[in-house]
Every structure is written in C-alpha cells, then in structure tokens.
Amino acid sequence: MGQFLISGLATGSSYALVAVALVLVWKATGVLNFAQAEIGLFGAFVAWFAIESTGANYYVAVVGGMIAAAVLAMVLERAVVRPIMGESHFAMLIMTIGLYVTVNSLTTLIWGSAGQTIPSPLHGTLHLGPTLVADVNQIAAIVVGAALTLGLTVFFRSRWGVQMRAIAEDRVTPRLLGVSMGRVVAASWALGALLATVALLFQTQATLLNNTAAADLIVKATVAATIGGFASVSGAYFGGLALGVVETLAGGYISSGDQSAVALVLVVLILLVRPEGIFTRGRARQV
C-alpha cells in the first residue's frame, strides 16, 4: 500500500505540474493549451541534448531546457495565439491543437523518435519504514512538485502575482490601473513551459524520453486540472496527485492494464457528481 502510494504520488506529481501549467495558461489566455506537454517535451529534449553533446552539468542543462521551453512558449503565444484572442473557443482550441502537432513534429524532426535516457545525478534508495523503500528520484519528483506549487502560491502574493490574478479575474479594470496584459500573458505561458519541462523530466525518468512521451501526459493533466475545477493552482495540483495515486492503486490491485481506464471512468463520474471539481468550494458555474 505504502509502496503504491509513493509511486502514485511520484507519477501524480508530473500530472500535477502539467495540470498547474494548464491552469496558468487557461486563466491568462482562456484556452486549453493542448500543446502544453509538448512544449515541456521540447525543453526536456534540449536538456538531454545539452548533456549528450556538450557534457553539461545536469542542473545547468535542466535550467537551459526550461529556458528554451519558456522562450518557445512566449514566441508561440505572441506570434499566433494572441492575435486570435477573442475569437470563438473552438478556433482557439484548434489553434493549440495545431501547435501540438507543430511542436511535436519539430521535436521529432530535430531529435528523432528513438528513446533516450537522461542520466539522473541522484542514485540510491531511501528506507522510510521497516518495509517501505523509495527510489530517491521518486522522492525528488514529489518534493520538487510540492515545492514548485508552493513557490507559485507564494509568488501569487507578490506584486507580479497579484497582477496575474487580477488579469485572470477581470480583463479591463487592471489595465486601467496600468497592468500590462501582454506581459502577464507572456509570463503565464513562460511559467507554464517551465513547469511542463520539469514534469516531462520526471515523467521520462522512469520510462524513456521519446517523441510520444507528452501525448499521454496532456490527457492525464487535463483530467487532473478538471478534477481540481480548472480554476485554482492548488486544486490542479491535488487533482494531479489524486489521479496518480488512484491510477497506481488500480494498477496494483485490479490489473496493470486497467489503470488508465479506471482513471478515465473516475473523471466522468466526478464530472457527473460535481461538475465544478472536487477541490473547489461551491461557486457559480463558469460557462
């Protein structure tokens, strides 16, 4: 049980980080960013490439990958998403789907479709109890995920953070007070890209880094964000953790083939019972 819990939380941390990224972009731009995980995959590949080709230090490479992803996200947002803001939801959704295809094929074109591994600097296991053993990388995923979400919550209390929250609530008044909407939106996309890169790095630690790693993650993260109500950062975070744990438990106790199916049934049930998500207090439904 404890073992499942830990690997569930570790997997869930990846879902959670992409889910938080989705919520950030959703609040700033009002669109479900289908390309979110793909942008993170691009960053992860940049990090891998830096280590492979230049022998860079792991942490330096990771920061480089995060910056590359953030730049990519800001360029995409400025060039093709912002000009169509205010169009129908459907047009904006199709735009991010177009970006999903474009970014994924760009990654495939540059780095191919073979699976790669990023050697983690952390090794060994931790004994958390008499029978409970955890891989250091799993613990790292859980801790970093929690720390980033906490950091983001603190950030939202700063001047910049308040401006971002204000824009998400009301598009007109903050601008009358001198908040630059363009900068806030760009910052949200950049932050989202940073989080997604970290998520992809952890996700591909257990498996291989290849060009299909992000496709599954985006569906899971969307589900996680929806469980959390799609409005709050902490809701999305706990939604991701919950999804990871439920999936792993289902995989452990029912059958390993069923785990995704169980999670998907769960989300449909949750939406039926509480369309506003389970981690939100009752509020008027946004349409």
How far apart, in whole angstroms, are the C-alpha atoms of residue 98 and residue 170? Answer: 28
* Contacts of another protein in 125-184 (CB under 8 A): 171-172, 175-176, 180-182
Angle at 25 between CA 23 and CA 31, to 5 degrees: 95
Shortest distance, position 20 Cβ to another protein, whole Å: 16
Q: Which is nearer to another protein, 123 or 285 (CB)?
A: 285
Q: Which residue has the tokens 């993650």?
A: 217
Site string for another protein, 245-264 (x = CB under 8 A): ------------xx-xx--x
Q: Which is nearer to another protein, 165 or 274 (CB)?
A: 274
Shortest distance, position 88 Cβ to another protein, whole Å: 4
> How far is residue 39 from each of residues 70, 205, 243, measured CA to CA in Å?
8, 17, 22
72 binds another protein (CB under 8 A): no
Number of residues near another protein (by CB under 8 A): 55
Shortest distance, position 112 Cβ to another protein, whole Å: 9
Shortest distance, position 146 Cβ to another protein, whole Å: 25
Q: Which is nearer to another protein, 147 or 265 (CB)?
A: 265
For the record, the structure tokens of 50 come out as 């830096």
- Give burial (CB, 10 Å; 0-12/13-18/19+) of 240: buried
Q: Which is nearer to another protein, 3 or 102 (CB)?
A: 102
- Provide the 3-class DSSP secondary structure of residue 197: helix
Indicate the pairing of strand 133-135 with strand 125-127.
antiparallel
| Near another protein by CB under 8 A: residue from 272, 282, 283, 284 | 272
Shortest distance, position 105 Cβ to another protein, whole Å: 4
Shortest distance, position 185 Cβ to another protein, whole Å: 7
For the record, the structure tokens of 93 come out as 């959704």
84 binds another protein (CB under 8 A): yes
> How far is residue 210 from each of residues 111, 231, 260, 263, measured CA to CA in Å?
9, 31, 20, 24
Shortest distance, position 129 Cβ to another protein, whole Å: 34
282 binds another protein (CB under 8 A): no
Measured in residues, the chain has a length of: 287
| Near another protein by CB under 8 A: residue from 94, 144, 249, 278 | 94
278 binds another protein (CB under 8 A): no
| Near another protein by CB under 8 A: residue from 10, 32, 199, 213 | 32
How far apart, in whole angstroms, are the C-alpha atoms of residue 227 and residue 243? Answer: 9
Q: Determine phi and psi for 218, rounding to 5 degrees.
A: -65, -40
Burial profile 7-30: b = 16 or more Cβ within 10 angstroms, e = fewer: bbbbbbbbbbbbbbbbbbbbbbbe
| Near another protein by CB under 8 A: residue from 74, 85, 146, 206 | 85
Q: Which residue has the tokens 């998520």?
A: 199
Q: Where does this chain bind another protein (CB under 8 A)?
A: 32, 80, 82-91, 93-95, 97-106, 108-109, 171-172, 175-176, 180-182, 185, 215, 219, 222-223, 226, 230, 257-258, 260-261, 264-265, 267-268, 271-272, 275, 285-287
